Structures are given as C-alpha cells and as structure tokens.
Amino acid sequence: MKNICIVGVGLIGGSFALDIKQQHTSCTIYGIDKNKAHLDDAMSLGIIDKKSNFEELDKADLVIIAIPVDATLEVLPKVLDKISDEAIVFDVGSTKEDICLKVQSHPKRRNFLAAHPIAGTEYSGPKAAIRGLYKNKTNIICEVEETAFKLQEKALKLFSDLGMRIRYMNPKAHDKHIAYVSHLSHISSFMLGKTVIDKEKNERDIFDMAGSGFESTVRLAKSSPAMWTPIFKQNKTNVIETLDEYITNLKHFKELMENGDFEAVYKEMETTNHIKDILNGIK
C-alpha cells in the first residue's frame, strides 16, 4: 500500500498513522479532518505527510475512518462513493450495528471492513497520538464475509504488522458485549467524577485526599463527550440494559450496608475478586 488516507487525525487515527509510517516507510499518509487546527498539528508532528480532501480519495489504497460514530454514518457512504475498486476502507467505531446497516446495500460494500480496535486513552486530538497503541490489543472484526477476500487480506495484514489480535463477531453481539466492558465503565467514571465534583463545591479539601484509586477510576471521565455521546446514542438499548443491572447491584450493595450485613459485603467483594483471574487470563 502506497497511499493511505486517515479521515480523522486524532488519537486513534493519528496513532494508526504513526505505526503505519514506522512499518511501511515508503507509503504516503494523507489526512482529512474538518478541524483545520488538527490537520496543522498532524502535519507539524509528522503524523501525516499531506493534507487532503474527499475528492482525492480515488488515489488511496487504504482509508481509515477514525471519527465519532455519528459522523461515520454520514461520511462512510461518501468515502465508498469516491474510492477506487481496489481500495479497502475500515472504520474504528465503538458501535458496529448501525454502521454496518448504513452501508449494507452500498455498491462498494465489498470494499468496507467493519473494525473496532479496543485501544485508546482518555486524551484526544493529534497531540495525543502515540506509537505502539495497538500492540497486543484486540481488534474486533464484524461481517468479515461481506468484505472482498483480497481486500480484507490487506487490512488483516496491516493489523498483524501492528501486533493486533483479531476476533470475529457479528455487529449485534459486538454492541451488546462492548456495552458491558467499555460503555458502562465510561458512564461509571463520568458519574463518579460528577458525584465528587458536586460534593467538592462544599468540601474544598476533597481532592487533596484523592489517591491513586480515585485517579484510576475516574480517569475515563477525561474522555471526549463529543465522541462518547454518539456512542451512547447508537448503543442506547444495550447501554440502558447494562445500567439497569449495574444500578441493581449498587442498590443491593447499599442494602447490605444499611442492614449491617458486612459478612455479605465481604462475600460480594470476594466473589468479584475472581475478575482478576479472568483479566490475567486475557493478558
């Protein structure tokens, strides 16, 4: 692949660009972003080689769409309209069902691979882009059978070059599972941050007492609302289901506390400790 276009040169798109440039030194990275300051930053940081636009997409061998999922619904069909028959396009969105449905009847559906690399940080923009972000990370591929084999091979080789693990899943299952392991954790972090901020209005010393536990738990509350609001909107049904279950568990824990049943509190936490074995097994 000689010409690669990144639509959205922030953390995710920019990190792809940095790793691709390191692995494929002869390729040219083009950047498209509605934020001109982001394009300027991406150029000055060496993330992209040239600024581009949608009219030049016919030159691209590979297009990566790394923008909020609501924008992807609008941009993806336009990208497919412009690319050559030999180009492969993949998105990186945290929701998959709506995106796959949007292009299911597009004449160039075979040129699109629905992907979700589970990687990132709480920061955004080109300055947040880092090398090695995707190494040893899982990349979920949906509806791989809808993508032309020769074209999907290009993307899969790239993922392999960057050290990613591949899992295959249908879009509906993806959105349901990711609501539990990603979307719920972000909501929890945002709401914990809100709770503490509201309390801090009356108790100015509260942040002086915040330790590493608080910092790590609330870290995701620094994430971009412009990215996460569309995710919650597209995955509304699954997110509400996970919230219902989470709230039920919180209420149960509160009742145990109110009843002074600390033996049960201990058992709840002891049972949940099993998650460390699960997570260690994944690593």
Strand partners, 86: none
Q: Which pLDDT does position 169 carry in this prediction?
A: 97
Q: Are strands 112-117 and 138-142 parallel, antiparallel or unpaired?
A: antiparallel
* pTM: predicted TM-score of the whole model, two decimal places: 0.89
Domains identified in the chain, total number: 2
Instruction: From first to last of the 283 residues of the chain, give the pLDDT tens digit.
Output: 899 999 999 999 999 999 999 998 999 999 999 999 999 999 999 999 999 999 999 999 999 999 999 999 999 999 999 999 999 999 999 999 999 999 999 999 999 999 999 999 889 999 999 999 999 999 999 999 999 999 999 999 999 999 999 999 999 999 999 999 999 999 999 998 888 888 776 666 666 666 677 777 788 888 999 999 999 999 999 999 999 999 999 999 999 999 999 999 999 999 999 887 766 765 5
Strand partners, 64: 6, 90
Q: Which pLDDT does position 274 carry in this prediction?
A: 85
Q: Which residue has the tokens 């824990």?
A: 253
End-of-domain residue from the set 140, 171, 202: 171
The CATH code of the domain that includes 13 is 3.40.50.720
Closest CA to 62 of 95, 109, 24, 29: 29
- Structural domain range at position 149: 3-171
Q: Do 179 and 162 reside in the same domain of the chain?
A: no
CB 193 within 8 A of CB 221: yes
Q: Which pLDDT does position 227 carry in this prediction?
A: 93
Q: Do 209 and 235 reside in the same domain of the chain?
A: yes
The CATH code of the domain that includes 275 is 1.10.3660.10
End-of-domain residue from the set 152, 171, 190: 171
